[in-house]
Structure 1
Amino acid sequence: MSYIAHIRQKDNEIQTVQDHLNEVQQGAERAGEKIGIKTLAGITGLLHDMGKYTDEFLSYIQEAVANPDKPPRRGSVDHSTAGGKLIHERYHFSGATPQAKCTAEWVANCIISHHQGLRDYISPDQTSPYIERVITKELKQYEQAREEFYKHTPPEHLDTLFELATSELQHYIQIIKDHKLPLITGSLLMKYMFSCLIDADRTNTRRFEENETSLESIDHRFFFQTSFTLLSQHLAGLEQGDSANTPINQLRREMSRQCEEFAFRPSGVYTLSIPTGGGKTLASMRYALKHAIEHNKERIIYIVPYTTIIEQNAAEIRSILQNDDMILEHHSNVVDDKFEDRHEDDDGEKYEVRKKNLKLARDHWDRPIIFTTMIQFLNTFYASGTRNVRRLHQLSNAVIVFDEVQSVPVNCISLFNAALNFLNVIGRSSLLLCTATQPGLDFVKHKLHFSNEPEIIQDLEHVGRSFKRVELHDLTQEAQAGWGADELSCFVQEQMREVNSVLVILNTKTAVRKLFETLNEVQWLHDEDVQIVHLSTNMCPAHRKDVFAGNEEQDGLIQRLEKGERIICVSTQLIEAGVNISFECVIRSLAGLDSIAQAAGRCNRHGKDEIRNVYIVRASDEVLTHLPEIKIGADKTERVLQEFRVNPASLGNDLLSSEAIACYFKYYFHHIEEKMHYPIKQLEQKNLFDLIDRNRYYVDAYKNRHAKQPEVLNHYAIATAEKYFEAISNRATAVLVPYGAKGKRLILDLNGALEPNELGEFLREAQQYTVNIYDQELRQLEKNGDVIPLLHGHVLALREPAYSEHFGVEPKGEGTWDMAMF
């Protein structure tokens, strides 16, 4: 009898369990081999669907296909537990070595969890969900599954594989000890194993569904060599420009050259502290490409704080490298987590076609160059389910560039450092931390382990002085209660008497919109033909891109500024990083000094004038109750401002000096010291870092309750940690918006029936037309009837009245459109 793993929807072709297990084993081995855990990853693939070797599952899958409109209850046949049960039963007995027991726990957890996410070994309720699954839970036809499995994989062959897997794991446990890394590094290595399994399983299933006969192969090295040649040609062309020999451009070239030289150094954790406007994007890409070629890396990944930086940086790199297919932008998840079913009994196949295709279509970062956000990076390590972790193995043997690294969410600092240490020591990746305001991540409790002499740029003090283009003016004492929209409007008018362009950056979307509307009502703005532009994250990436760079119909903000047109731009902080734009004056409401430094980088960016002015003000229309990080940053900046008034020499006589930035981060990190480890309010402030490190509190509680040591050597509470993890605490939902003809077409197409390969491409395209909406706004939009469910409710879209030309998403449904523009 041939036991069936899958039945293809189109033609009822079957994939046998044996074929599926062997192919997933091979796929997991390929992913694991990159870091030397080929067998450890492969054995999970060999056993993950062992439970399909039963008459019970055979009947289940045949009935599901025969009755697609009334399939059997999902999860009614558990097929994922059997493989884990076999591993635990065979290798985790009383006389087994600790090494064998540890390996069994890792392998078995990956197998039993491949439909939901890794289980807790010790949970907050003083139980072991892992033990309950591999020992306590009864399986009707377990013996049949085990017997059938052994027909294809003899027990002695499995023993050989397990011995090799144990050796691989012990090798890395010793490395973790030698590098004095915390236990959380082990939990991340287990997640890496899990990633190898999940990606191999999903990929093999998708290939069978689509009848794909060969794996896509990318010659990374050839692509990187070709790309480096094109980048070098581009940089050589810049040296021929009219302003190529100005002191600033000569310094930019020198720093870029230093990046290429530094690329010959071995893999490590390094810093690139080029000042704002110093050509960081191209310089870091020069390092990344050269390092990838010299050290045979498979991937270059850019991690940025905001989607706006992806938009500009990716566009710049695409225009130079001229190969769009090799560059992937991953902005956000169009399909929101909350629509992904995660039931405890959900271990059966998801035979509802729309859901299965959605699952298989998840992007897994398989391109040579990836642009993504800090949130997506952190989700890959710590978010729940199987969707995010699927990408984790792609982060190994890579060059990973963190742009504006100071933007790591406060509560994720310890988790971020743990992930980077793992990627460097275990994942064999090189990490480059880029920012003009390095936050000092090696001076916190769970510190980042930098390589020796990590800074690429030589003589940073000289570079800083050479790049000084602005003077910072502290106006925070002018009005202790702050300026409202009317006062700010008057101040903007004063500045516009002296300059042609002003950028105002405020901390909240509400304050930005209020100032924009106030300015639109004043007569002088219209009399003097001053243009006013609004920017916020309520606008989708494609919309913001058109505002910045223009389109076929009209020039964008960048071109209009270069022409010297009179412009006022009112924006949230999205414009502060990664946007190559220059205003003659910047007004920034009080925030963290690192944010103020970034805002200053949008003023006189190219040194066209000797010195221009940046003003720090208080904005009374900002409510920071739900933005504690900005509030704390503003408070610590205020302390630095007070010290500067008393003794400017102690801070380098410049509020943007390295001394002032270091002083700010010292105060900031001291204030948030306990918040860095991700405290969990629902668990009485137990921190998430400890849950996947030693899990001290709940292990002690387990011992007290049961009066004995846990039956398991591993204590990680991975599922609990994932349950409470959110990279940003304000929960938002991704919605697809009807911006332009393409946005409207995507909404129509995504409501149809798409194959996994088509769906994956549409979801990638849809990221450019997606906005993250907070719950309160979403409820208002739903109340107005402006939310449309697509893909049977897995994707949400907006109706046209809920999106406007000036403001983007309009929760009150006040959007109006000039359709001729699109």
Structure 2
Amino acid sequence: MEIWGHSANDVGERHTLADHLRGTEKRARRYGARFHAGELAGYLGRVHDVGKGSCAWQNGLLRAEASGGRVGIPHKHAGSHLAFKAGLGPLANVVFGHHGGLQCRPELKTALREARTDHKASVDEAIDRVSQVVPEILEGPGLPSWVQDAFTSAPLVTDVLVRMVFSTVVDADRLDTAEHMDAIARPDHPVAAGDLVERYEQARLARLEGRAPSPVDADRAWVYEQAVAAAEGPQGIYRMPAPTGSAKTYAAGAFGLHHARRHGLGRVIVAVPFTTITEQNAKEYRDLLEAPGQEPVVLEHHSGIDLDSDGGPGNRWAKLASENWDAPFVVTTTVRLFESLFSHKPEAMRRLHRLAGSVLVLDEVQSLPDRLLVPILSMLRTLTEHFGVTVLLASATQPAFFDLSPFQDVPASDVIEDPAPLYRRLARVTYSWWTDPAPTREELAEHAAASPSVLVVCNTTSQAQELHEGISRHRHADGPVLHLSTRMVARHRQDVLAQITELNNAGAPAAVVSTQLVEAGVDLDFPEVFRAFAPAESLQQAAGRCNRSGRLEQGRVVVFDLIGDDGKASSGGEFIYGAALEATREHFGPGKAWPDSPDVMDAYYKDRFKYTNVENDGQKIQDARRDADFPEADRLFTMIKEVSIPVVAVPTRYAEDAERVREMLGLLRQGVPPGGLLRELRPFTATLPRGLAERKAAGLLAPVVGDLYEWLGDYDDERGIVIADTKEYVF
């Protein structure tokens, strides 16, 4: 009697279990070979579904095939037992969790005990039956010496090894199953990152030829050359400190591709902190690396990308590639990257093995949360030392990561050996401090309104809304007064950003009041910038929007506090930034350094990390990883601490879309699956902090589905959702 692994596909063919086990084994071995664990991964792929060989499971499959239901019979104990019996220890979790997720050590021990007691009859039966058609399931691979060492003395390395091998088996299993169900081969992407170097270089040169020259072009070219030269170095951890406006996006991509070619690496993965920058960078890289008619090579993967829409072959490719990052160039968010690395769920972890033998570019690394730095840096170190990953840390304000315990004895290579002269050459602004005495809101608004073209960056949405209102009252210069914050729905923000860019490019005047969302990676250029006092890296990022093209002799950045209703001076960011703001005031301000001083910035970070107790933060996550408690590490690792809720609103400027939005909300309330509908609603979605919504706006929010709400209150056509009398922060 044939032993089946999956029910009949659309052409009426069943999948034999022998074919499925060997197909999964073949792929998993190939993926695991990238980090010298090919035999381990292959064996676990070979045994992962052995439990399906029991008569009970086979009969259940036939019933499910006839009824369209599920088999409903566990099948993970047999393969887990074989893996443990083969001496693979914690790697038995790979088989046990390949559907439900990696489990904690006590849960795995219980399952292995049950395989020898409660489930012994079905386990023995499955192993006996499957071994007759796949005798290799009885042949364990043994452990490489580096794995044995990790098991005995390096629990954090063991943690990453289990995650990586788990990823290979889950991906191989899903791909082999998909090939059967779709009756279509699913080969890996044929292009490697190193194959794209010439395409990238030629497209960059063509773009430069079509651009108007800028006074900073020579320095941008020098940064690019340094990145290409550094890419010839050995694998490891690299730092790329370069001022804002020095074309880090191009240089980082060049480093990744040239380094991949030098070392035969499969892909470049670029992770950035915010979705808006992800979209911008993905477009830049796609314009350089893709042309009509060519096979797609740039995967953009984040919560804002619509992979469900009918976008033709390119979109279908992206939907499939997003499942496992099977693309030579991936652009994603740091949230998606690190929450996948610390997850315990198969769908999130499926892509992790693609990191092995890759270049990982972490852009704007100053945005990584202090409280998670220890587990993040520990993870990066293990990836570079054991899994063939090169990490590039890119930032204008390089944090003092190498003073923290995970990186203290790690050698680092610098893309730019002595960046101080570059920072001096690209110092395009002067700083002044309006903090003692501090202005009132009215004084600041009147002063900013007098500037023909100015950007004001605030710490809170209420501060931004008040200043926008004040500047609008006092504005006598030509040009509009515009506002940006996440209280505005996404489409509104994007349209305003496009309007600002158009005004910038035309040299036309405008006053813009924004929260921090304009600071990292948004390509704006103003002669004058006002910035509410904030951590030093935020001050420098805001300065990066001032005289960005270097066409002025000097731009002007004014750092301000404001006199509050209580008569005291405040930046509005004290409860947001805490000790980081304290460390900034110690090192930067009137009579002290400017934020574009790399040496002082280094001292600032050292104090900041001390004040915020970075070394102790994240230790519970590290303890969970040492204890092989994968669900607990997943629960504790949360990149976004502030819980926000998505709120759907339709501004009057988009009134023609109101009926469709109401229709989609109605479908969601009726229980229609949300995937595609939620993505279609994204352009009309803003965010509110949950606590603020519950305290101040509960009566104006109508539940839709899950955490999604409909906004029933007023929507200001310039400032978005306005909730009076609040000081809460959202950007």
Q: Is the shorter-chain TM-score for this pair beyond 0.5, marking a shared fold?
A: yes
Partner residue, 2:32: 32
Counterpart CA distance in 1 for 2:720 and 2:387 is: 40
Distance 1:403 1:111, change over 3 A: same
Counterpart CA distance in 2 for 1:82 and 1:777 is: 51
77, 89, 94: which one aligns with 1:105: 89
Distance 1:491 1:807, change over 3 A: closer
Distance 1:736 1:83, change over 3 A: farther
Q: C-alpha displacement at 1:113, in angstroms? A: 0.9
Q: Deviations over 1:146-200 (max 9, x none)?
A: 211211232xx3454422xx12xx23455899xxx96312211110111111212
Contact 1:413–1:676 (8 Å) recurs in 2 = no
Partner residue, 1:184: 156
561, 578, 585: which one aligns with 1:638: 585
435, 439, 464: which one aligns with 1:512: 464
Q: C-alpha displacement at 1:594, in angstroms? A: 1.0
Counterpart CA distance in 2 for 1:506 and 1:606 is: 23
Contact 1:586–1:603 (8 Å) recurs in 2 = yes
SS of the residue 2:325 aligns to: coil
Partner residue, 2:537: 594
Contact 1:401–1:434 (8 Å) recurs in 2 = yes
Contact 1:267–1:428 (8 Å) recurs in 2 = yes
Counterpart CA distance in 2 for 1:451 and 1:743 is: 56
Q: C-alpha displacement at 1:275, in angstroms? A: 0.8
Q: C-alpha displacement at 1:546, in angstroms? A: 3.3
80, 83, 88: which one aligns with 2:79: 83
1:531 aligns with 2:527: no
Contact 1:747–1:797 (8 Å) recurs in 2 = no
Distance 1:217 1:604, change over 3 A: closer
Contact 2:454–2:528 (8 Å) recurs in 1 = yes
Contact 2:164–2:352 (8 Å) recurs in 1 = yes
Q: C-alpha displacement at 1:408, in angstroms? A: 1.0
Stretches of structure 1 that go unaligned for 5 or more consecutive residues are 92-99, 122-127, 336-358, 551-555, 680-686, 694-714, 813-822
Contact 2:358–2:390 (8 Å) recurs in 1 = yes
Q: C-alpha displacement at 1:630, in angstroms? A: 1.6
Could you tell me the percent identity over the aligned residues?
26
Q: C-alpha displacement at 1:804, in angstroms? A: 7.3
Q: Deviations over 1:687-717 (max 9, x none)?
A: 2112213xxxxxxxxxxxxxxxxxxxxx422
Partner residue, 1:707: none
Code of the residue aligned with 2:435 in structure 1: it is T
562, 566, 581: which one aligns with 2:509: 566
RMSD: 3.8
Counterpart CA distance in 2 for 1:27 and 1:623 is: 58
Distance 1:171 1:729, change over 3 A: same
489, 493, 502: which one aligns with 2:446: 493
TM-score norm. by structure 2 comes to 0.85
Code of the residue aligned with 1:106 in structure 2: it is P
Distance 1:588 1:724, change over 3 A: same
1:725 aligns with 2:637: yes
Q: C-alpha displacement at 1:12, in angstroms? A: 5.6
Partner residue, 2:599: 659
Counterpart CA distance in 1 for 2:104 and 2:576 is: 31
1:115 aligns with 2:99: yes
Contact 1:410–1:676 (8 Å) recurs in 2 = no
**22-31 vs 433-442, which moves further:** 22-31
Contact 2:9–2:183 (8 Å) recurs in 1 = no
Distance 1:723 1:251, change over 3 A: closer
1:243 aligns with 2:203: no
SS of the residue 2:414 aligns to: coil
Contact 1:421–1:449 (8 Å) recurs in 2 = no
**Structural mapping, 1:669-688, within 5 Å:** 669-674=609-614, 677-678=617-618, 687-688=620-621
TM-score norm. by structure 1 comes to 0.76
557, 565, 573: which one aligns with 1:614: 557
Partner residue, 1:277: 245
Q: C-alpha displacement at 1:471, in angstroms? A: 1.5
Distance 1:195 1:599, change over 3 A: same
Partner residue, 2:350: 390
Q: C-alpha displacement at 1:718, in angstroms? A: 2.0
Counterpart CA distance in 1 for 2:453 and 2:523 is: 15
Contact 2:275–2:304 (8 Å) recurs in 1 = no
Distance 1:558 1:674, change over 3 A: closer
Stretches of structure 2 that go unaligned for 5 or more consecutive residues are 307-318, 725-731
Contact 1:414–1:447 (8 Å) recurs in 2 = no
Partner residue, 2:266: 298
Distance 1:214 1:596, change over 3 A: closer
414, 425, 431: which one aligns with 1:455: 414
Q: Deviations over 1:594-622 (max 9, x none)?
A: 11111111111122211222122225599
Code of the residue aligned with 1:504 in structure 2: it is V
Counterpart CA distance in 2 for 1:744 and 1:45 is: 50
Q: Deviations over 1:553-587 (max 9, x none)?
A: xxx21120232322121222121111111112111
408, 412, 415: which one aligns with 2:372: 412
Counterpart CA distance in 2 for 1:637 and 1:65 is: 65
Counterpart CA distance in 2 for 1:465 and 1:613 is: 16
Contact 1:591–1:631 (8 Å) recurs in 2 = no
**424-433 vs 454-463, which moves further:** 454-463
Q: Deviations over 1:645-693 (max 9, x none)?
A: 3xx4xx5xx34211221121111011123565425xxxxxxx2112213
SS of the residue 1:727 aligns to: coil
1:716 aligns with 2:628: yes
**774-783 vs 607-616, which moves further:** 774-783
Q: C-alpha displacement at 1:231, in angstroms? A: 3.6
1:62 aligns with 2:62: yes
Q: Deviations over 1:298-323 (max 9, x none)?
A: 11111111112112222222223334
1:135 aligns with 2:113: yes
Relative contact order: is structure 1 or structure 2 higher (C-alpha 8 Å, sep ≥ 6)?
Answer: 1
1:229 aligns with 2:201: yes
